[in-house]
Amino acid sequence: MEGSHVTRFSDRIRRIRPALAGFAAAVLLTAGCTLPVIAPRVEGQGEAAPPGTAPTWRACPEVPDELVGRGAQGMRYECARIAVPRNWGNGAATGATAGPGTGETFEIALIRIRSERQHDRIGSLVVNPGGPGASGVDTAVYLSYGSGFGGLPAAVTDRFDIVGFDPRGVARSSPVKCIPDADLDASFGYDPDPQSQASFDGFADLNGRIGRRCGDRYGDQLPLYGTEQAARDMDAVRAAVGDEKLTYLGYSYGTLLGATYAQLYPQRVRALVLDGAVDPQQKLIAGSESQAKGFERAFDNFARWCGANAGRCPIAPDARGAVTSAIDKARVSPVRGRDGREATAGWVFYAVISSLYTETGWQELARAIDSLQGGDPTGVFKLADAYAGREENGHYSNLFDANMAVNCADETEKPSIPQIRQLQSQWRAKYPLFGPALAVGMLGCVQWPGGRDPYPTGKAAGAPPILVVGTTGDPATPYEQTAALASMLGVGQVLTWEGEGHTAYPQTACVTNAVDAYLISLTVPRAGLRCPAR
């Protein structure tokens, strides 16, 4: 849902990866500091190492300081920048001009985190949180705080450096920025199901304006932000950290990035964990409908929980009715917040989306809707803004600029605007809360300028076993995509978590033990392993 910010690939993260939100909050409480919604970006990290040369690492404790207020105990943080060709050439975007021969490069920001307790070092664990558009540098920092805060277990950090990178166009890595804050406010606040023709046309016009603005700024460079180019950058990251083979942990869209790497460089794979699997073979329409189904299923799970836990859910016994009513009321008489912003149907809808990424968000949603009914939209804005990466001053990071650039460079299917209008009606009948929004969200890439650079969708012939992790209640990357990705790669081994929310590792002992054994000892879980919710 590119225009409405629920893409078929993306986790559409709440600040970083939603599964990390709980431990990030715990770190804040421990540290007694305030975490900004979008952390400041450190641009002055020295010169980028030219392609093919070793980077210069420097201590950068300011990165965790800016994100959390302090670094994790016993961890050392180092940063570097490498330069990569804007166009890797082989399989390059049609019509894009930059290439290896032109001398034009992008800068890729890296962070390397090493435990003081490290022993018997295996190598580097490269991490990516998905999005596309989320910061791998930030993710690595959050993961460094250990299992007590929901981060990586000591068994992993004792054996690996944790390496995060911001993919091309994201955060600190030659960021794409072309969507004004006002347009993002308008997009998030827009009716998620614009039923009148005038309202639908208005949303189409908004997406068209966003596309034209980005096309005017970046022109034929837009296809260069696609997934295949970024996967080739990952091989430069592997070389920069000195590993002969890649060990990788990718979440959500990061599974697509890892799968693409495995197809391009199967002989350079040591171990890949792909958690929250994307099916690379799904085109735009099928992928959008799959996600509509996934969110509808996750909301049903929330509603059942609400009915069974009335003491913790103030909108029980009919959570679906309460949420639907709140959205309907917001269409005609939105409640105004303390900052003067109105909690329109769009903002209420994204509060719902935000809450479904983690089971811990369910109670927060119930309270937010209950408060909204009482005239206080604070909880709705808190959820929606965390999802959108909107700061208190109304400024956005480049998360969604990058998300559009990557997704639209990848996507070759372009349904017509009348076809989208028809799907909006059809999906409203099948998926009443999420279907229309996922349909009209396709307007974003349909009206995006520039050429396309689709990623490969085949076997990772010659690669070792790749661990593909799926969560049965995942809204953003529905569980059905797990087996599809494993099958496409040909070497995928499925690990199932019978839990709720988006992504699984390291949520429970069963999941954690299986993934750790694979990363450390290359022990593949037994076929068909299913881990219970708790």
- How many Å apart are CA 268 and CA 245, to the nearest integer? 5
**Residue 190: how many other CB atoms lie within 10 Å:** 23
Q: Is 252 an annotated catalytic residue?
A: yes
Between 284-308 and 361-373, two packed helices, what is the crossing angle to 10 degrees?
A: 80
* Contacts of residue 286, Cβ cutoff 8 Å, sequence gap at least 6: none
The answer to whether the beta carbons of residues 264 and 456 sit under 8 Å apart is: yes
CA neighbor of 515 nearest in space, from 499, 495, 492: 495
Give the tokens for residue 122. Answer: 């295996």
Which conformational region is residue 33 in: left (phi greater than 0), alpha (psi within -120 to 50 degrees), or beta? beta
**Paired strand residues for 271:** 247
Q: Which one is catalytic: 10, 252, 288, 290?
A: 252
* Residue with the two structure tokens 């590993």: 243
Q: Which one is catalytic: 187, 453, 502, 516?
A: 502
The answer to whether the beta carbons of residues 262 and 488 sit under 8 Å apart is: no
Give the tokens for residue 53. Answer: 């040369």
Q: Is 502 an annotated catalytic residue?
A: yes
Task: Provide φ and ψ at 515, rounded to 5°.
Answer: -70, -45
Q: Write the DSSP assignment of 49-111 as a string of letters.
A: BPTTS----EE-THHHHHHTSSPPTTEEEEEEEEEEES--STTPPTT----GGGT-EEEEEEE
Q: Which one is catalytic: 138, 275, 474, 516?
A: 474
* Residue with the two structure tokens 């016994």: 317
Give catalytic residues, as residue numbers: 252, 474, 502
